[in-house]
Structure 1
Amino acid sequence: MPLPHFLALLAVIIVAAAATVWLAASSGVSLAVLALVVLIAAGVVRLMTRVE
């Protein structure tokens, strides 16, 4: 992957994370609840992509 594409990917990820935190904070969701939802979603995705 060329360096400009990699840096653009990092920038998009950082902006998406900032937008998610901003939207959650502005709607009144606490960061602890947001973190718990993200951890559960990551666990579900991990279990669904598991190859046995």
Structure 2
Amino acid sequence: MPLPTFLLLLVAVITAAGVTLCLAVSLGVPAPALALALLCCVGVARMMERVE
């Protein structure tokens, strides 16, 4: 993968994470609920990695 493409993907992921956090804070989602959802997503990603 060329370096500019990699850097663009990295910026896109960081921007999406920032927008998600700002939106969650503005909607008043509690931090523990956000952390639990993130932990569940990481667990699913980890299980999908082991399946293949």
User: Which bin holds the TM-score, normalised by the shorter protein?
Assistant: 0.7 to 0.9
Q: Taking CA–CA contacts closer than 8 Å with sequence separation of 6 or more, which of the two structures ends up with the larger relative contact order? A: 2
The structure in which a higher percent of residues are helix is 2
Q: TM-score, length-normalised on structure 2?
A: 0.81
Gaps of 5+ in 2: none
Task: Show structure 1 runs of 4+ deviating over 3 A.
Answer: none
Gaps of 5+ in 1: none
Identity of aligned residues (%): 54
1:18 matched residue in structure 2: 18
| C-alpha distance in 2 between matches for 1:49 and 1:30 | 29
